């Protein structure tokens, strides 16, 4: 359906080599995106992901450690002046430790990647996004937040705080960039199979699934569907939203 088609569009997905980022990159290509840049810290992982995604369309590996502003700028330069129709700020990190033991380094690492990087990268890519933006078909920024930024999990202090801040940053940027025909929205995933969640799901997967009102863990198509909706004509009038994709966990 044309309503959900991404034919001819170019996208960049950070953290696009595994987990939620890879799910989204695959979904964008399957919806017709002409080119998807996939980025993460490790060049080998980027190459492997691009090879896997090539079955669905053109995937371009662009390694970068976007925990620093300099690397965000370098990544933006590598992508070029556009047009860039879709930016997915997905790269992230987590850290868990008891309150009394929670180190300062856990704040620096998590906030630098989860919060600062989406801001720096979106700002650096504004020329490319503006080149793609039209009143009827805005350019799209999709930030990957978390239900941990809505609920109150324990012992992941920097992670949950950074994701709540990503949700607020999404709303602030949506208000500012909307008049430039760039929408900014966030997806707040619940439990999905990913490297970040692997140990938790291995230990408590059945318990977590039982707690979800839909009684299961998220699947790749669930995440791809949300991203394709926001990136396509179907989501072109959605701006400043934080959409939980969590099977209903945030209703509890």
Q: Which of 37, 120, 157, 159 is catalytic?
A: 159
DSSP state letters, the chain: -GGG--TT-EEEEETTTSHHHHHHHHHHHHTT-SEEEEE-S-HHHHHHHHHHHTTTSEEEE----TTSHHHHHHHHHHH-S----EEEE---------GGG--HHHHHHHHIIIIIHHHHHHHHTHHHHHHH--SSS-EEEEEE--GGGTS--SS-HHHHHHHHHHHHHHHHHHHHHGGGTEEEEEEEE-SB-SHHHHHHHHHHHHHHHHHSTT-S-B-HHHHHHHHHHHHSGGGTT--S-EEEESTTGGG-
37 is catalytic: no
Q: Give the residue numbers marked as catalytic.
A: 159
């Amino acid at each position: 359906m044309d309503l959900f088609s991404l034919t001819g569009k170019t996208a960049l997905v950070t953290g696009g080599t595994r987990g939620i980022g890879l799910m989204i990159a695959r979904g964008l290509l399957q919806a017709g995106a002409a080119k998807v840049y996939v980025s993460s810290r490790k060049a080998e992982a980027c190459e492997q992901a691009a090879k896997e995604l090539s079955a669905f369309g053109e995937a371009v590996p662009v390694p970068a450690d976007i925990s620093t502003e300099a690397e965000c700028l370098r990544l933006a330069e590598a992508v070029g002046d556009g047009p860039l129709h879709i930016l997915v700020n997905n790269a992230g990190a987590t850290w868990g430790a008891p309150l009394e033991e929670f180190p300062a380094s856990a704040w620096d690492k998590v906030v630098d990647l989860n919060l600062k990087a989406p801001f720096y990268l979106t700002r650096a890519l504004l020329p490319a996004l503006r080149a793609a933006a039209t009143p009827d078909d805005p350019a799209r920024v999709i930030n990957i937040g978390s239900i941990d930024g809505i609920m109150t999990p324990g012992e992941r202090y920097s992670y949950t705080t950074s994701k709540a801040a990503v949700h607020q940053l999404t709303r602030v940027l949506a208000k500012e960039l909307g008049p430039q025909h760039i929408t900014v929205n966030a997806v707040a995933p619940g439990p999905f199979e990913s490297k970040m969640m692997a140990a938790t799901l291995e230990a408590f997967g059945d318990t977590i699934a039982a707690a979800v009102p839909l009684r299961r863990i998220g699947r790749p198509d669930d995440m791809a569907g949300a991203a394709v909706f926001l990136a396509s004509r179907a989501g072109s009038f959605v701006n400043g939203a934080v959409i939980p994709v969590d099977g209903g966990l945030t209703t509890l």
